[in-house]
């Protein structure tokens, strides 16, 4: 598959997720697709449907950043900024995803994102105090 076609599929996939169109997003995936992220693993369309239709993240916009999309063979990498309402609070964070295609469908997604930044933006009370303490400790280690 051409690099431009892979990039277009990835863009359309994240656009469908941002529009909360679970069925359209699923149409870009193979029946046996899986998605591994810091939040866990979803395998097959039934688990992916549950994950994609979760109410925890809404109003998602994706902006390509840094390296953007890099494609080679049947694999592609996507660096982007996500902005969303996450568990009721607005947040913005960096994410990186590796995609593997089977034909013109996505078969595997491996995602990572800045969980600490996200936690800092969406927590409050005692959890926020704990997150801020972790950040302060990390900053001390880099000085």
Encode the chain (143 residues) as per-residue pLDDT tens digits: 899 999 999 999 999 998 989 999 999 999 999 999 988 999 999 999 999 887 677 888 999 999 999 999 999 999 999 998 887 889 999 999 999 999 999 999 999 998 888 888 888 777 778 877 877 777 777 76
Q: CATH code for 3-114?
A: 3.10.450.50
In this prediction the pTM is 0.84
DSSP state of 81: E
Q: Which residues contact 71 (CB under 8 A, 6 or more apart)?
A: 3, 6, 7, 77
Res 5: pLDDT: 96
Closest CA to 98 of 34, 21, 49: 34
Tell me how far apart the alpha carbons of residues 110 and 127 are, in angstroms, rounded to a whole number: 27
Question: What's the sign of the alpha-carbon dihedral 36, 38, 40, 46?
Answer: negative
Count CA atoms within 13 Å of residue 127 on its CB side. 8
Res 141: pLDDT: 73
Q: Which two tokens stand for residue 33?
A: 């697709």
Tell me how far apart the alpha carbons of residues 30 and 102 are, in angstroms, rounded to a whole number: 7
Predicted confidence (pLDDT) per residue in 115-136, tens digit: 888 888 888 777 778 877 877 7
Residue boundaries of the structural domains of the chain: 3-114
Question: Euclidean distance between the first and final Cα of the chain, in Å?
Answer: 46
């Amino acid at each position: 598959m051409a690099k431009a076609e892979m990039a277009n599929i990835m863009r359309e996939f994240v656009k469908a997720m941002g529009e909360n169109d679970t069925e359209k997003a699923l149409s870009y995936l193979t029946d046996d697709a899986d998605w591994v992220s810091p939040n866990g693993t979803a395998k097959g369309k039934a688990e992916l449907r549950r994950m994609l239709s979760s109410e925890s993240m809404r109003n998602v916009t994706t902006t390509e950043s840094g390296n953007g999309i890099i494609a080679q063979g049947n694999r592609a990498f996507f660096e982007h900024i996500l902005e969303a309402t996450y568990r009721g609070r607005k947040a913005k964070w960096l994410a990186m995803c590796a995609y593997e295609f089977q034909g013109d469908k996505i078969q595997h997604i491996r995602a990572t994102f800045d969980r600490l930044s996200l936690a800092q933006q969406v927590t409050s009370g005692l959890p926020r105090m704990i997150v801020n303490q972790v950040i302060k400790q990390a900053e001390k280690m880099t000085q």
